[in-house]
Amino acid sequence: MKCRFKGSVLFMKAIRKEEGFTLIELLIVMVILGLLVALVGPRMFGKVGTSRQKAAKAQISLFETSLDTYRLDIGKYPTTEQGLQALRVKPTGEEKWDGPYLPKDVPPDPWGKPYVYKSPGEHGDCDIIALGADGMPGGEGEDTDIASWTNIGQ
């Protein structure tokens, strides 16, 4: 049985061997990490877009419920000029207003842009639209518009 003492040659060789990683070992680890990021990254970032679309659908559903309550109290939906703000702040001349109809201020869409509100709408009594990531009408993928008339059952 050999004993290793701090000053012995065997002890010093053992320490030198365990001091660190070789350049090859580090490169292999970096390549493996790069492959993992390349494979997993796009899937994770792809979920962000669909999550924002789901959030927009949920917010539009909340607005629709609040607008229906507003209509029951007032007898009509807010005008385009009054907008969704009428759910939080009493519009001028609306004596039957019994709001606020939203618990907080009207949030922007999940991409940070205001919702488009039209009343009367082209597809119903009122239309609510989130214009997607590009903020422009139309689009595909993450740029797809989320609209109240296509939001049914989703």
Token pair 């759910």: residue: 87
Distance from first CA to last CA of the chain, Å, rounded? Answer: 74
CA atoms within 13 A on the CB side of 17: 6
The domain spans of the chain are 51-150
What is d(CA 14, CA 143) in angstroms, rounded to the nearest whole number?
60
Give the model confidence (pLDDT) of 3-31 as tens digits: 555 555 555 555 555 667 788 888 898 88
pTM of the complete model beyond 0.95: no
Exposed (0-12), middle (13-18) or buried (19+): which is 83, by Cβ within 10 Å? Answer: middle
Among 114, 130, 72, 117, which residue's Cα sits nearest to residue 96?
Answer: 72
Predicted confidence at residue 14, as pLDDT, reads 57
Q: Which residues of the chain have pLDDT under 50?
A: 1, 154
Predicted confidence at residue 85, as pLDDT, reads 95
What is d(CA 143, CA 130) in angstroms, rounded to the nearest whole number?
10
- The CATH code of domain 51-150 reads 3.30.700.10
